Amino acid sequence: MSLNKNRVVVAMSGGVDSSTCAYLLKKQGYEVIGITMQIWQDPSEDYTYREGGCCSIGAVYDARKVAEKLGIPYYVLNFKEEFNQKVIEYFIEEYVRGRTPNPCIACNRYIKFEALLHKAMEIDAYYLATGHYTRIEYDVVSGRYLLKKAVDKSKDQSYALYNLTQDQLEHLLMPLGYFTKSQIRDIAKEAGLPVAEKPDSQEICFVNDDYKEFLKEKASGRIKPGPIVDKNGRILGQHKGIAFYTIGQRRGLGISAGKPLYVVDIDRKRNAVVVGEEKDLLTQEFTADQVNWIAFDALTEKKRVLAKIRYNFDEKPAEIMPLNSGMVKVVFDEPQKSVTPGQSVVFYDGDVVLGGGIISERIR
C-alpha cells in the first residue's frame, strides 16, 4: 500500500497536549487531519463535559474548536464496539478475577495504535500522531525504532506504551516528547488555542468517580462476598467482593486488629482477601506474561534492567530472565512494595524502553 508520507492523523482528545501536537505538525508542513474516537457506550450516560475529561461529548466540542482554529479537517469516528470489547470488558474481567487492570494501557494497545492507526491508513495517512510525552527514534545501528523517555521526566508516558511494535512505531509521531509541559502550555497560548488553560485529564474516561460503583452495576452477579483472612488463614472479617480490593490497600477493610493491616494477597480460588503487615507487601521476585519487546526481538538470556511496576513508581534495578512460553522472571535487587498482578512491568535501559509485560504471579 502506498501511503501519503505528508498526511498525518492526529488523535484529538480535546486537551492541550493533543491540540498542541496538531498545531506543531501543521507548522512543520504536514497535512493534518484531526480525529476524535467516540467510545461512550450509551447516549443516556453522563458523557457530557467533565473538567479535564477525555473522549466525552465536551471533549469533542473542544477538539472541534481547535480544528477550526487550525483550519484542519476534523472527524469523530465510532470505536464504541472495539472499546467495549477490548477495554471495558477487560477492565471488568480483571477485577472480577481479583487482579488490578490498567485500562489506559489496553486502550493504547488495541484502540489508539491498532484500530485508529488502521483507520488512518485507510484514508492514505502514513502517520498517526498523539499527544503522548515520549520519544520515538530510529537507531541505525540496530535497524530498529526505539521508544525513549520524554525530555520532561515528570510527564513521561513511555510506561503506558511498551506494547508498541516495530510496524506501529514506523507510522507514529509523538512530537511532545521533546518539550516540557510548561513549554507546551506556552506554545498553546501563543498559538491562541482555546484549550491552552484546560486541566489535564486524570480519571478513567468511562468511570464516573468510583470504579466500585461501576463494577457493582456491570458485574453484580459475578461478585460475591467472602472472608478476610490473615496469612495463617484465620478469618478476621468479611469482604464485599474481591473485585473491590487491590494489593497495598489499607483503607476500607472494615476490620480492627490494633495495628495497620494491608491487603497483601487476593486468593481467587478461596474468594478470600488476605491481609498482613506492611512488611508483607514486599516482593523480590515475580513472573510476567504477555511480554512485548521493542529494543530487540526476544529475550534469550539474563539481562540487567531497570524495572517499573506502576506508572507513578520509580524504576528499580533488577535482573530479568526468559521462561517458557515467552514469559519473563523478574528479580529485584531489593524487595519492592505492592507488586500487583494485572499491572504492567516495563523494562528500561537508561531512557530506552526495552519492553514490558503483565505481572502474573508473585514468587514467595
16 is in an annotated binding site: yes
In this structure, is residue 317 part of a structural domain?
yes
Task: Provide the number of structural domains found in the chain.
Answer: 3
Enter the C-alpha cell of residue 102: 490498567
Q: Are residues 252 and 289 in the same domain?
A: no
Same-domain status, 43 and 92: yes
Flag whether 78 is in a domain: yes
Is 66 within any annotated ligand binding site? no
Same domain, 187 and 293: no
11 is in an annotated binding site: yes
Mean pLDDT score, 36-47: 68
Nearby residues of 9 by Cβ (< 8 Å), 6 or more positions away: 33, 34, 35, 116, 119, 120, 123, 125, 127, 128, 129
Tell whether 205 is covered by a domain: no
Active-site residues: which are they? 107, 205
pLDDT band at 256 (very low <50, low <70, confident <90, very high): confident
Burial of 88 (0-12, 13-18, 19+ CB in 10 A): buried
pLDDT tens sequence across 197-207:
998 876 677 88
Query: Domain of 328: which CATH number?
Result: 2.40.30.10
Verify that 234 and 321 share a domain, yes or no.
no
Q: What percent of the chain has pLDDT over 90?
A: 85
- Reported as type and span, the H/E element at residue 89 is helix 89-96
User: How much is the average pLDDT of 342-351?
Assistant: 98
Let me know whether 249 and 309 are in one domain. Answer: no
Closest by CA to 356, choosing from 272, 267, 295, is 295
Instruction: Write down the pTM of the prediction.
Output: 0.93
Residue 43 — pLDDT band, cuts 50, 70, 90?
Answer: low
Q: What is the mean pLDDT of the segment spanning 263-283? A: 96
As a whole number of angstroms, the distance between CA 95 and CA 317 comes to: 29
Tell me: do 68 and 173 sit in the same domain: yes
Please, which pLDDT band fits residue 51 given cuts at 50, 70 and 90? very low
Average pLDDT over residues 110-115: 97
Q: Are residues 79 and 104 in the same domain?
A: yes
3-state secondary structure (DSSP) of residue 353: strand
276, 293, 308 — which closes off a domain?
276
Q: Is residue 169 part of a domain?
A: yes
Q: At a CB cut-off of 8 Å and minimum separation 6, what does 43 contact?
A: none
CATH number of the domain that residue 135 is part of: 3.40.50.620
**What was the pLDDT predicted at 204?**
75
Comparing 41-45, 100-104, 247-251, 277-281, the range with the smallest average pLDDT is 41-45
Q: Which residue is it, cell 535497524?
A: 143
The answer to whether residue 270 is domain-embedded is yes
CA 126 to CA 31: how far, in whole Å?
11
Q: What is the CATH number of the domain that holds 242?
A: 2.30.30
**Residue 49 resides in a domain:** yes
With respect to residue 196, please indicate whether it lies within any of the assigned structural domains.
Answer: no
Residue 48, pLDDT > 70, answer no
Of 191, 217, 244, the one marking the end of a domain is 191
φ, ψ for residue 57 (rounded to 5)?
A: -60, -40
- Find the mean pLDDT for residues 252-273: 92
29, 165: one domain: yes
Minimal CA–CA distance to 309: which of 285, 293, 325, 276?
285
In a domain, 218, yes or no: no
| Domain co-membership, 113 together with 72 | yes
User: Domain range for residue 295?
Assistant: 281-363
Residues 10 and 124 placed together within one structural domain of the fold: yes
**Residues 142 and 247 reside in one and the same domain:** no
Residue 163 has pLDDT above 90, yes or no: yes
Residue ending a domain, choose from 145, 170, 191 = 191
Q: Look-up: residue for cell 473485585?
A: 243
Cα 340 to Cα 30: distance, rounded to the nearest angstrom: 42
* CA proximity to 66, closest of 58, 56, 54, 74: 74
95 and 171 housed in the same domain: yes
Tell me the residue type at 219: A
Tell me if 15 is assigned to a ligand binding site: yes
pLDDT of residue 55: 61
Beta bridge partners of 321: 329
